[in-house]
């Protein structure tokens, strides 16, 4: 049987002007149970860090404002204050379990870590502060290897189970189908506790079918599934999905245009900018842009910002192409 986690394929998005959430595929395929508000806070924190250009590390507290949360997820800001306050009390105790490789022994290793190492709520200001744990940080920030990107807009109207299922699906966007996911593994990945919905009829009615329905009605995907059985018992699911046509957010890029024309500019996704900025920061062709005293990581952050400016983008485009960028 195909290993779902190890076979999860690197995803490349060509869409622009979106709030991108970027996670390592180990994290996408991890097992964890978060409430809807908690899950949304994690997604917002990832985006907030990128928008502020501060990045994510294990020492910095990231701020999430109640008004920002309300705007992103179309909820009443009055209710958001109490939701953030409650989440601050529960998120600290949440754990995530994921598989990695023990490099010394070259053996699979199951790792259990906390999402955050610190969290607080500023009374009267509607601000939640959180700091990701050291183990989680690289799973969010490591874009050079396997990663999955998706748009926050796609999950803003989903419940917690549909959100997790959507994440699992877009991990396989390049193939449009998943391998068989064993039922216990699937339940764990989408955050269903072992004590919940033990009967398959309850699980399908309360969790599975509503999640499929929400994805089909509220996201950019159309998904179908197949039940796999051992005897008469359902042993797992596999999924097929495709991109819906005529997405409003999609733009066509003329890749045949002369990059020397005055208005030439390709607006990259955040994931693309940071991926190629990291590559370019170590290229000798970029030496004229380096400040000399900065680290590769600091240089990469500056390059990512430069790629947002049309004039600088045109100057950097030949180096960007050499780094492997293809619009």
**Same-domain pairing of 203 and 268:** no
The domain total for the chain is 2
**Same-domain pairing of 173 and 257:** no
What is the C-alpha separation between 47 and 215, in angstroms, rounded? 22
Host domain of residue 172: 20-243
Contact 29, 189 (CB under 8 A): yes
Asked whether residue 13 is assigned to any structural domain, the reply reads no
DSSP states of 301-319 as a string?
A: HHHHHHTTSHHHHHHHHHH
Asked whether residue 14 is assigned to any structural domain, the reply reads no
**Same-domain pairing of 186 and 139:** yes
Q: What does the pLDDT look like over 191-237, one tens digit per residue?
A: 898 889 999 999 999 999 999 999 999 998 999 999 999 999 999 99
Question: Whole-number mean pLDDT of the chain?
Answer: 79
**Residue 310 confidence (pLDDT):** 83
What is the C-alpha separation between 15 and 141, in angstroms, rounded? 20
Classified as helix, coil or strand, 108 is strand
Rg (CA), the chain: 21
**Residue 224 confidence (pLDDT):** 96
Contact 259, 313 (CB under 8 A): no
**Same-domain pairing of 56 and 124:** yes
**Residue 16 confidence (pLDDT):** 29
Answer with the residue of higher pLDDT: 64 or 148.
Answer: 64
Q: What does the pLDDT look like over 157-191, one tens digit per residue?
A: 899 899 989 988 988 887 889 999 999 999 988 98
Asked whether residue 11 is assigned to any structural domain, the reply reads no
**Same-domain pairing of 224 and 270:** no
Give CA 66 to chain center in angstroms. 21
Give me the helix-helix angle, 77-90 and 36-51, nearest 10°: 100
**Contacts by 48-53 with C-beta closer than 8 Å and gap 24+?**
50/20, 50/22, 50/270, 50/274, 53/301, 53/304, 53/305
**Contacts by 223-226 with C-beta closer than 8 Å and gap 24+?**
223/169
Is it the case that residue 60 has pLDDT exceeding 80?
yes
**Same-domain pairing of 60 and 103:** yes
Neighbours of 127 (CB within 10 A): 17
What is the C-alpha separation between 321 and 141, in angstroms, rounded? 23
**Same-domain pairing of 100 and 207:** yes
**Residue 237 confidence (pLDDT):** 96
Q: What does the pLDDT look like over 88-113, one tens digit per residue?
A: 778 888 888 877 788 888 888 888 88
Residue with tokens 């339940």: 187
Asked whether residue 288 is assigned to any structural domain, the reply reads yes
Instruction: List the beta bridge partners of residue 149.
Output: 22
Domain containing 44 — which CATH number? Answer: 1.10.10.10
Backbone φ, ψ for residue 136 (5° rounding): -80, -35
Is it the case that residue 74 has pLDDT exceeding 50?
yes
Residue with tokens 């004229």: 288
Secondary-structure percent of the chain, ordered helix, strand, coil, rounded to 5? 40, 20, 40
**Residue 216 confidence (pLDDT):** 96
Give the predicted TM-score (pTM) of the model: 0.54
**Same-domain pairing of 190 and 94:** yes
């Amino acid at each position: 049987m195909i290993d779902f986690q190890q076979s999860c394929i690197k995803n490349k998005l060509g869409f622009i002007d979106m709030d991108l959430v970027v996670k390592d595929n180990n994290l996408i395929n991890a097992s964890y149970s978060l409430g809807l508000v908690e899950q949304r806070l994690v997604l917002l924190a990832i985006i907030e860090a990128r928008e502020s250009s501060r990045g994510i590390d294990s020492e910095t507290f990231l701020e999430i404002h109640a008004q920002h949360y309300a705007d992103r997820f179309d909820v009443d800001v009055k209710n958001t204050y109490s939701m953030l306050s409650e989440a601050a009390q529960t998120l600290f105790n949440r754990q995530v379990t994921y598989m990695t490789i023990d490099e010394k022994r070259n053996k699979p290793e199951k790792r259990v870590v906390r999402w955050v190492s610190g969290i607080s709520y500023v009374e009267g200001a509607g601000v939640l502060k959180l700091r990701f744990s050291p183990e989680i940080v690289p799973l969010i920030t490591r874009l050079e290897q396997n990663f999955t990107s998706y748009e926050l807009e796609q999950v803003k109207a989903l419940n917690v189970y549909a959100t997790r299922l959507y994440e699992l699906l877009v991990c396989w966007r390049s193939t449009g189908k998943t391998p068989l996911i064993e039922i216990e593994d699937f339940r764990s990945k989408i955050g269903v506790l072992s004590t919940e919905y033990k009967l398959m009829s309850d699980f399908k009615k309360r969790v599975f079918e509503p999640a499929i329905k929400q994805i089909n009605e509220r996201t950019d995907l159309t998904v179908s599934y197949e039940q796999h059985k051992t005897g008469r018992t359902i042993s797992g699911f596999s999924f097929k999905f495709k991109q819906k046509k005529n997405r409003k957010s999609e733009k066509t890029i003329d890749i045949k245009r002369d990059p020397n024309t005055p208005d030439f500019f390709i607006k990259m996704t955040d994931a693309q900018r940071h991926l190629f900025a990291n590559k370019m920061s170590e290229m000798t062709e970029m030496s004229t842009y380096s400040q000399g005293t900065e680290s590769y990581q600091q240089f990469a952050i500056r390059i990512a910002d430069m790629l947002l400016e049309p004039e600088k983008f045109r100057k950097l485009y030949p180096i960007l192409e050499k780094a492997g960028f293809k619009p």
